[in-house]
Chains A and B, each alone.
Chain A
Amino acid sequence: MTSDPLPRELAPDALRRVCDPGQFTFETTAALAAPADVLGQARAVEAIRFGIGIARTGYNLFAMGPEGLGRRTTLRAFLEREAPRREVPPDWCYVFNFETPHRPRAMPFPPGRAQQFRADMARFIEDLRTAIPAAFESDQYRNRRQEIDSQFGEQQETAIAAVGEHAKAQGIALLRTPAGFGFAPVKGDGVMGPKEFAKLPEAEQQRLQSAIAELQQELERAIHEMPKWRREAQRKLRELNREVTQAAVMSLIEELKSAYADLEQVMQYLAAVQEDVLDHAEAFQQAKDGETPTLFGIPLPQADTSESALRRYQVNVLIAHEPAGDGGGASIVYEDNPTHANLIGRIEHIAQMGTLVTDFTLIKPGALHRANGGYLILDALKVLTQPFAWDALKRALRAREIRTESLGQALSLISTVSLEPQPIPLDVKVVLVGERALYYLLHAYDPELGELFKVAVDFEDDVRRSAQTDVHYAQVIAEIARREQLRPLDRGAVARAIERGARLVGDADKLSLRMRELADLLREADYWASVAGRALIQTDDVQHAIDTGERRSDRIRERLREEVLRGTLLIDSSGARIGQVNGLAVAALGGFAFGMPQRITARTRFGAGRVIDIERESELGGPIHSKGVLILSGFVAGRFVPNEPLSLAASLVFEQSYGGIEGDSASSAELYALLSALAGVPIRQSIAVTGSVNQQGDVQAIGSVNEKIEGFFDLCAARGLNGEQAVLIPASNVQHLMLRDAVVEAVAAGRFHIYPVATIDQGIERLTGIPAGERGPGGAYPPGTINARVERRLAEFAERSKAAGSERLSRKSWRGTSQRKH
């Protein structure tokens, strides 16, 4: 006889912690004010306040918790409150670097002035395009240019004429030939022909020939001088061009310089522009209409050279803000697609004549540029799954500057014209949002995480239920209804939504903080209220939303139950059988969890002291399940015939289970089946069992208790409740009960029962109707009890084992003798 009386079955009020609408003072949620703070997230809120407030390197935030808690909404609310208080960050531009063209210069501007500067520069260049050609078309320029040309021409002519004069004095003429000059002896008006020349005396011929040879050398020397004069002429022309350009540029650039006199870097840039314009005045001349170049008769695409030459004076405004004081403040950027390029910006290329070219005007900003001076919110998983995005983000945060480079360039994958833009200083607070597991994994495997994301914002999944939290929860419901423009809820609907919140976390004393699920429920309830033509959301609408939500997902549950009812899946809910018990399993598919009874059987025989877990042997059981079976073996081994070897062979199986089994919540059921098999006592099939067991025989809490109970209840209800059907649950799970109305009503009517059990002994008595029994003063269990029967059976096995052992020993020695004989 057990000393402890069996715990009584649970009363209906223990099965569901009802939320009393009467506790609320409001009529509908329309009357409720917005919640003063974030429900149940005190730790997270504290961390957010700290993280936003501390302006130190590395104090970036990692907001962790499961999806649907409202992490982004909460963070955004805090950031939006803080951002306007911060000063508007500077504008940033990229401009041409005249010294090292492949390193574009980054220039900051006070907010709002970058766009102005771009417009001013564009107008300046446009003005130069008229002013410079005009200067070059002036008579003054033309005359001076003509002067230089003439001087060069005259120098040439004079030099050649001098040679000609020299020749003439010796009776030799300087002839212009198709490709140059020649010297010929003169006769009268014309040139002396070969015949006349042959008639000349020998001495004269010699004289003429040597004179001509000398003259040729003289002419060559004169011609050799000419390139020097040409260079000189070109130098003079260049100087003239600079002088003329200078006059045109000066007046225009002075205006710009006075407008930006307060910005040192801009002044330096303008000085460089001025110098560069003087050297490249020809780029401002209007392009002449010429023939387009062709290749084999096909016109070639031709870049407008003057246009492309003038690109260098453009201003690439990367980031522009509203001027300070226009209600701007720091920016909050959420980058939905945090690729490498979207984070740090990219350098685009243009195909030109079959090659890829780029310049500083093709640098495009990334999320870090846009968020610079403010806040950047990113999804941790997305950052980690985009190639090289995580590395790029860390590099930028560590170096505190944004270095824009294309991925191809960074990895040396492509070799084409490339740029190294000057990095832009970075001052940003990054908020990563991700699952807890991700944070812990990163923390374990990436040492930089702790350095760069020092503020962990850990969001809670649930909150302890109390009268205050019920009211707070009602305010949250009211706020969601307002934000989503839903009908107001009446008190009953709020109470039902709160009960649903408790059910979602599977705990009567807690409320779910998964705001997305709550918002979904309210939206759906609003729809059903609209279908019913109601102005308020009422209890029925909320319940209807819950039921239809389940109904949409329960096809598999229905099919399984159907198979049980048709007898394909063998589950008894009446009668009694040895070594067979109804366990309870939970399946979660597509976000919908449901419980189903599962037949567990045990067979025993004399053997080597092993309990075989067929699930494990067939590799269908998970490690926790195996652990449960080993624990129950330990319990059996420790409790019964402690002084004898355990000579039991037993096998345990989940019948008709073709998928995997995991978890130890069926270990008590398996133990009951084993005890029943050993004791030879049948188990009532009208009872289903859940709970794990330890080596001492205590029944321990399990998860999803509500789904498990309802799973068995639904099956019994379908077959017809006979008043005997019941579920055994661990006593420690009673606090988690938030059962459906139908179950509570059936229990109240005495047609269904829920028994809490704390030990295996209590459970086996409920299942068999026979007490488990405790060892008496003599160390023996009272006869007839379950434990006594089990022990007797195991003692028998032990006896047989001993007998078999000595027989084997004697056979061995006989064999040894015979061996010696041979």
Chain B
Amino acid sequence: MARDVAAKALRPRRIVVGLEAQPRSRAVLRAAAEIAARTEAELLALFVEDANLLEWAGLPFAREVGFPSAVSRALDAVAMERSLRALAQEAERSLAAIAQGTSLRWSYRVARGAMMTELLAAAAESDLVVAAAVAGWTPRRLAATARTAVLLVQELVVPGTPVVAACSSGLAPAQAATLLQAMAGVLGHDHEVSLALLCESPEAAERWSREVQRLAPALRLRVITARDEAELQARLAALRRSVVVLPEAPPAAGPPQAARSSRPRSRRSPRAP
């Protein structure tokens, strides 16, 4: 009973999902909606129109090679803009369709810029960010930049599968324990967590993880250590699972259950069925 109450307390109140003009966004959206519905959190979908794409489309020789058709076609900025707008609308429609008939509360916003930058900026008011992996944003960089936990969706998130978390020993064990418990509650039932830890020395990693285990005895912790970033990435890739990246410096306000009153500015008002 106490555990249930604790689990409830650790639930995220607000989840931000990053969508972009990529087919993989559909899986990301479904995963985020699934988690939001399960945890009764509010969902903010942020569609980021990639500024790079618009820039590129302005080039006179810009050609898109279709996949998997391999047919290439010329593009211009106007066509790209139209295409992005259509995809943004389609993403909103899919979200509405997913939410229909459920108690999911959701809002939708469109931004222009670089995916992770825009997303992390929007995430300031949320407890969990859900996104696809973005080139250039390694777990290390994400951990250093983000203020909240980031779920990098590989494929569909299946409830009950072990949580794979990545963090560095820079995170305080107490905060790590709280975040891991919260994530285990969000993503799995069995509190089994594979923790990929970036740590200079094996001894330090051992010490750090023992401390986390002591603080969160309900967790069944499996620690994978990596000395450097390349090793960490390789080990995560081998697991082929969605990965939660824990922030190195979470907000001073404490665990993510802290209530927030302000609402994001959105093109549409939040919806509830």
Q: Chain A residues in contact with chain B, CB under 8 A?
A: 150, 175-185, 189-194, 197, 209, 212-213, 216, 219-220, 223-224, 226-227
Q: Are A182 and B55 in contact (CB under 8 A)?
A: no
Q: Are A182 and B70 in contact (CB under 8 A)?
A: no
Q: Are A209 and B52 in contact (CB under 8 A)?
A: no
Q: Are B70 and A184 in contact (CB under 8 A)?
A: no
Partner of A193, one of B55, B114, B240: B55
Q: Are B58 and A182 in contact (CB under 8 A)?
A: no
Give A266 Cβ to nearest chain B Cβ, in Å. Answer: 46
Q: Are A216 and B60 in contact (CB under 8 A)?
A: no
Q: For window 46-64 of chain B, which residues contact chain A by CB distance below 8 Å?
A: 51-53, 55-56, 58-64
Q: Known interface pairs A184-B62, A193-B58, A223-B65. Does A177 touch B72 (Cβ–Cβ under 8 Å)?
A: no
Give A214 Cβ to nearest chain B Cβ, in Å. Answer: 12
Q: Are B59 and A175 in contact (CB under 8 A)?
A: no
5 tightest A-B contacts by CB? Answer: A223-B70, A194-B58, A184-B56, A178-B21, A180-B67
Q: Are A178 and B22 in contact (CB under 8 A)?
A: yes
**Docked pose: A33 CA to B177 CA in angstroms:** 108
Which residues of A have CB within 8 Å of B63? 182-183, 212, 216
Q: Chain B residues in contact with chain A, CB under 8 A?
A: 21-22, 51-53, 55-56, 58-70, 72, 75, 83-84, 87, 114, 136, 240
**Docked pose: A213 CA to B52 CA in angstroms:** 19
**Docked pose: A227 CA to B21 CA in angstroms:** 24
Partner of A182, one of B22, B60, B62, B87: B62
Q: Are B70 and A224 in contact (CB under 8 A)?
A: yes
Q: Are B56 and A150 in contact (CB under 8 A)?
A: no
Give A684 Cβ to nearest chain B Cβ, in Å. Answer: 113
Which residues of B have CB within 8 Å of A227? 68
Which residues of A have CB within 8 Å of B72? 216, 220
**Docked pose: A183 CA to B69 CA in angstroms:** 17
Q: Are A190 and B55 in contact (CB under 8 A)?
A: yes
Partner of A150, one of B58, B66, B240: B240
Partner of A190, one of B51, B65, B69: B51
**Docked pose: A64 CA to B10 CA in angstroms:** 99
**Docked pose: A733 CA to B125 CA in angstroms:** 129
Q: Are B67 and A223 in contact (CB under 8 A)?
A: yes
Q: Known interface pairs A175-B53, A220-B65, A226-B68. Does A184 touch B59 (Cβ–Cβ under 8 Å)?
A: yes
Which residues of A have CB within 8 Å of B60? 194
**Docked pose: A220 CA to B83 CA in angstroms:** 22
Partner of A209, one of B53, B61, B64, B240: B61
Partner of A184, one of B21, B52, B67, B68: B52
| Closest residue of A by beta carbon distance from B67 | A180
Which residues of A have CB within 8 Å of B114? 190
Which residues of A have CB within 8 Å of B64? 177, 179-182
Q: Are B70 and A192 in contact (CB under 8 A)?
A: no
Q: Are A176 and B22 in contact (CB under 8 A)?
A: yes
**Docked pose: A323 CA to B84 CA in angstroms:** 77
Q: Are B52 and A194 in contact (CB under 8 A)?
A: no
Given contacts A180-B69, A192-B59, 8 further A-B contacts (CB under 8 A): A150-B240, A177-B75, A178-B83, A180-B67, A182-B62, A184-B56, A191-B55, A192-B55
Q: Are A182 and B66 in contact (CB under 8 A)?
A: no
| Closest residue of B by beta carbon distance from A164 | B135
Q: Are A179 and B66 in contact (CB under 8 A)?
A: yes
Q: Are B68 and A223 in contact (CB under 8 A)?
A: yes
Which residues of B have CB within 8 Å of A184? 52, 55-56, 59, 62
Q: Are B65 and A194 in contact (CB under 8 A)?
A: no
| Closest residue of B by beta carbon distance from A213 | B61
Q: Are A178 and B84 in contact (CB under 8 A)?
A: yes
Give B245 Cβ to nearest chain A Cβ, in Å. Answer: 20
Q: Are A182 and B51 in contact (CB under 8 A)?
A: no
25 contacts between A and B (CB under 8 A): A178-B21, A178-B84, A179-B64, A179-B66, A179-B83, A180-B66, A180-B69, A181-B65, A181-B67, A182-B63, A182-B65, A184-B55, A185-B59, A189-B136, A190-B51, A192-B55, A192-B59, A194-B55, A194-B58, A209-B61, A213-B61, A216-B63, A220-B65, A224-B70, A227-B68
Give A625 Cβ to nearest chain B Cβ, in Å. Answer: 95
**Docked pose: A403 CA to B45 CA in angstroms:** 69
Partner of A220, one of B56, B70, B84, B240: B70
Give B226 Cβ to nearest chain A Cβ, in Å. Answer: 21
Partner of B52, one of A178, A190, A226: A190
Q: Are A191 and B70 in contact (CB under 8 A)?
A: no
Interface centre among B60, B64, B83 (most CB of A within 10 A): B64
Which residues of B have CB within 8 Å of A176? 22
**Docked pose: A3 CA to B136 CA in angstroms:** 151
**Docked pose: A184 CA to B52 CA in angstroms:** 9
Q: Are B52 and A191 in contact (CB under 8 A)?
A: yes
Which residues of A have CB within 8 Å of B69? 180, 223
Give A571 Cβ to nearest chain B Cβ, in Å. Answer: 101
Partner of A180, one of B51, B65, B84, B87: B65
Q: Known interface pairs A177-B53, A178-B84, A182-B75. Does A216 touch B58 (Cβ–Cβ under 8 Å)?
A: no
Which residues of A have CB within 8 Å of B55? 184, 190-194
Q: Are A191 and B56 in contact (CB under 8 A)?
A: yes
| Closest residue of B by beta carbon distance from A189 | B136
Which residues of B have CB within 8 Å of A190? 51-52, 55, 114
Q: Are B53 and A216 in contact (CB under 8 A)?
A: no
Interface centre among B21, B53, B84, B114 (most CB of A within 10 A): B53
**Docked pose: A216 CA to B72 CA in angstroms:** 8
Which residues of A have CB within 8 Å of B62? 182, 184
**Docked pose: A224 CA to B72 CA in angstroms:** 12
Q: Are A179 and B67 in contact (CB under 8 A)?
A: yes
**Docked pose: A177 CA to B52 CA in angstroms:** 10
Which residues of B have CB within 8 Å of A182? 53, 56, 62-65, 75
Q: Known interface pairs A184-B59, A193-B58, A220-B72. Does A175 touch B52 (Cβ–Cβ under 8 Å)?
A: yes
Which residues of A have CB within 8 Å of B53? 175, 177, 182, 191
Interface centre among A183, A185, A191, A212 (most CB of B within 10 A): A191
Partner of B65, one of A150, A189, A209, A216: A216
Which residues of B have CB within 8 Å of A189? 136
Which residues of A have CB within 8 Å of B59? 184-185, 192-194, 197
Q: Known interface pairs A182-B64, A220-B65, A223-B65. Does A175 touch B240 (Cβ–Cβ under 8 Å)?
A: no
Interface centre among B51, B59, B87 (most CB of A within 10 A): B59
Which residues of B have CB within 8 Å of A226? 68
Q: Are A178 and B65 in contact (CB under 8 A)?
A: no
Which residues of A have CB within 8 Å of B136? 189
Which residues of B have CB within 8 Å of A220? 65, 70, 72
Interface centre among A177, A178, A180, A216 (most CB of B within 10 A): A177
**Docked pose: A720 CA to B55 CA in angstroms:** 137
**Docked pose: A227 CA to B22 CA in angstroms:** 21
Give A184 Cβ to nearest chain B Cβ, in Å. Answer: 4
**Docked pose: A653 CA to B143 CA in angstroms:** 133
Give B52 Cβ to nearest chain A Cβ, in Å. Answer: 4
**Docked pose: A632 CA to B25 CA in angstroms:** 117
Q: Known interface pairs A184-B55, A184-B59. Does A177 touch B21 (Cβ–Cβ under 8 Å)?
A: yes
**Docked pose: A334 CA to B167 CA in angstroms:** 88
Q: Are A219 and B65 in contact (CB under 8 A)?
A: yes
**Docked pose: A181 CA to B70 CA in angstroms:** 9
Partner of B56, one of A175, A180, A209: A175
**Docked pose: A608 CA to B21 CA in angstroms:** 123
Give A733 Cβ to nearest chain B Cβ, in Å. Answer: 102
**Docked pose: A625 CA to B35 CA in angstroms:** 109
Which residues of B have CB within 8 Å of A197? 59
**Docked pose: A194 CA to B80 CA in angstroms:** 14
Give B215 Cβ to nearest chain A Cβ, in Å. Answer: 33
**Docked pose: A179 CA to B65 CA in angstroms:** 8
